[in-house]
Amino acid sequence: MKTLQASKLKRKREEGKGKKKKKRGNKEEKNKVVDIRKPHSMLEDDHGEGEGFDNESTKSKVVENLRQDPDENDSGLTEGSETEDVEIHSDEDDIGINGQTACEDSILFDLHLQHSLSKEEIDCKSNVKFSWETPAIGMKNCKWIGTGKNIMEDLDINSCHGLKEKLSEHWMDVYKTSGGKDMSSPKQNMFFSLCSSYRDILYCNKRPFYLKGLEDASIMDAYIMHSLNHVFRTRDSVKKNDAKLTKLKEYTESDKFRDQGFTRPKVLILLPLASILYRVVKRLLHLTPSAYKVNVEHKDRFTTKYGSEEDTGDIENVDESKNEKPHKSSKASDFQMLFGGNNEDDFMIGIKFTRKTIKLFSDFHTSDIIIASALCLVNKIEEAGSNKEKDVDFLSSIEVLIIDHADVISMQNWSHVHTVIEHLNRLPSKQPGTDVMRIRPWYLDDHARFYRQTIILGFYSNPDINASFNHQCVNYEGKVKLMCEYKGVLHKVLPEIRQIYERFDVDSIVEADDARFDYFITKVFPRIKDLDQGGTMLFTSSYFEFIRLRNFLKSQNASFCLLGEYTTQSDISRARLWFYEGSRKVMLYTERSHFYHRYKIRGVQNLIIYSLPERKEFYPEIVNMLDGSNNMTCTVLFSCLDKLRLERIVGTTPAKRMVAAEKGVFVFCH
């Protein structure tokens, strides 16, 4: 890390030399005096929500207005800008915990945002490939792969470089008082250092809180501290430039004061459930130093709206290391932990730091951090598209995007995340309430997406998550991704049964669905259509596959019942009874239905897994539903495109062999 810091300090000094020469030339122009006017808002004080751009002409008009001569625009500070009611404690003259001044310690932040992006850098973003790999510290059978320079070689795993001193000290105090032992762990320091490098990160081996009640809290703490650090360093930069501008009497180079975006929000955190929102905000308040939270507004309202009945007391001072025990229930413990709180999936909250106060439920356009569900943001995007009085301009200046529990969001609807990312960092639909002479040039050039850092966290990855990371995350700094090998979950299968895996051939991802369906109707369905006994469960991971199979069974006049995510409760009860009694021979069951309800289906004698579940823990749960009779069978269909799911279930090494082998049938006995 010292090597990295030294090289970046050298780069900053070289950039500074050029600026000093320009400054000396500007001082000679003593007759040019800038007119510093009193601040006022460019928008109405009550900033409503408006629509996004409908065409390129609107975009061009806004940018043209922003690029006008300073004499034709107000260059003062505005309400709703990034300087409103701010009193942030500056560490400019303090010595950091690693012996660095705050100026040196903030170099990663400064260099990332002050970098001038060249046309060559933009053009090569579409051809970037992962070019290096290195073992992951503290994680067996895992490695980091990345693009560009191998930054892992320069990371100092013994400290959290780039973190403001007050945040670092408070973080240490929190762990000491709570008895935590992971504050100085190499794994946590490494992950925070990765965040501070401003690379895009895909970390899909994060142990969730609902799995046996043990959460990898160090990762959540690291991204919360990174978010706070980014917000406070932004505030520090604005405050310092405010002070310089108030003393300014002569004309000077304006680019040095460009420190803002179109709107104030800088951090967006996407979460799947309101109960997880409650956990994250509670932890954020706990990790915020006391100097910044003398007062927290609307705490009671927050607890009432998003907490459960058990969530009482002071939300700022709760020991997160102690997870609540699940209530007694027939459901699995991880199900109780995940869905035991507020299960709302349409939520959004703004958090604003002003003076010594944290404001919860602040207006989205004037918040510093926005935490929301993808569903809620998509609804607001659609509203803005149909109502000209509304807008989603608060998404225009997001510099850090964090998607936590991506695996749970994918069980909801990952296409919502795709839509949200597509609408980030667009030019605003209305004149922004920020001093136009303070907006960074790359915002005006519509290059903000190249400066946005995206951090995706989850228990596992899938093709949809990988696609978003590979194609929608275009940070010029590059990206890093965690790759892991799996042991599989076959040992958790209880019945002594032969699990037969049958591979079907597929030439391309476009033909995958048709190839799977054709294999089923020609090879698998003939085996079961003439069976006298019932008890055949047909399990599928996709709702589209569910509909296709339902239509096919109807066309064959098959005796079947349905248990999908949109099946009513009365129909579910009826279907389970019919299947158990044998009056319906086949049951169609979806992964999402199992995810949201965890039904225990009785009477299963023949299991056909049409497509492997995304969640590896579901595989033994489904197979364990077999009733233990002598006629039990288990058939699994897969292709070479199912490698990610396959390796989580059978293990990485067997999965590689199964995908590449000449034979297409494999048997596992446990």
Task: Say how far apart CA 209 and CA 189 lie, in whole Å.
Answer: 20
Task: Say how far apart CA 624 and CA 595 lie, in whole Å.
Answer: 16
Q: Is the pLDDT of residue 159 over 80?
A: no
Report pLDDT for 535: 92
85: pLDDT confidence band, cut at 50, 70 and 90? very low
Q: What radius of gyration, in Å, describes the C-alpha atoms of the chain?
A: 28
pLDDT tens-digit readout, 1-26 = 444 454 554 444 454 444 444 444 44
Q: Nearest-CA neighbor of 599 among 555, 549, 570, 563?
A: 563
Q: Nearest-CA neighbor of 221 among 185, 264, 197?
A: 185
Highest mean pLDDT among 65-69, 105-109, 118-122: 118-122
- Give the 3-state secondary structure of residue 344: coil
H or E element that contains 400: strand 400-403
Looking at domain 490-669, its CATH class is alpha beta
What is the per-residue DSSP string for 457-499? E-S---HHHHHHHHHT---TT-EEEEEE----SGGG--S--EE
Task: Say how far apart CA 404 and CA 204 lie, in whole Å.
Answer: 10
Q: Is the pLDDT of residue 311 over 80?
A: no
Report pLDDT for 56: 42
Report pLDDT for 622: 96
The one-letter amino acid code at 367 reads: S
Task: Say how far apart CA 627 and CA 236 lie, in whole Å.
Answer: 64
pLDDT tens-digit readout, 447-503 = 999 999 999 999 999 999 999 999 999 999 999 999 999 999 999 999 889 999 999
Pull the structure tokens for residue 151: 């930054």
Task: Say how far apart CA 414 and CA 378 lie, in whole Å.
Answer: 11
Residues 100-115: what's their mean pLDDT? Answer: 71
What are phi and psi for residue 188, nearest 5 degrees?
-70, -45
Task: Say how far apart CA 342 and CA 305 lie, in whole Å.
Answer: 9
Q: What are 609's strand-pairing partners?
A: 539, 636
pTM value is 0.85
Position with higher pLDDT, 337 vs 187: 337
Residues 214-227: what's their mean pLDDT? Answer: 85
Task: Say how far apart CA 120 and CA 202 lie, in whole Å.
Answer: 25
Q: Is the pLDDT of residue 121 over 90?
A: no
Q: Is the pLDDT of residue 68 over 80?
A: no
92: pLDDT confidence band, cut at 50, 70 and 90? very low
Q: Is the pLDDT of residue 209 over 70?
A: yes
pLDDT tens-digit readout, 15-58 = 444 444 444 444 444 333 334 333 333 333 334 333 333 444 44
Report pLDDT for 69: 42
Burial class (CB in 10 A: 0-12, 13-18, 19+), 143: middle
Task: Say how far apart CA 270 and CA 346 lie, in whole Å.
Answer: 11
Pull the structure tokens for residue 314: 């002071």
Report pLDDT for 308: 72
Name the CATH topology of 104-309+333-484.
Rossmann fold (3.40.50)
Q: Is the pLDDT of residue 619 over 90?
A: yes
Report pLDDT for 248: 77
Domain boundary assignment for the chain: 104-309+333-484, 490-669
Decide: 378 and 407 in contact? Cβ < 8 Å.
no
**Does this chain's domain 104-309+333-484 share its CATH topology with 490-669?**
yes
Report pLDDT for 215: 62
3-state secondary structure 171-222: HHHHHHHHCCCCCCCHHHHHHHHHHHCCCEEEECCCCCCCCCCCCCHHHHHH
The one-letter amino acid code at 35 reads: D
218-222, 231-235, 241-245: segment of lowest average pLDDT: 241-245
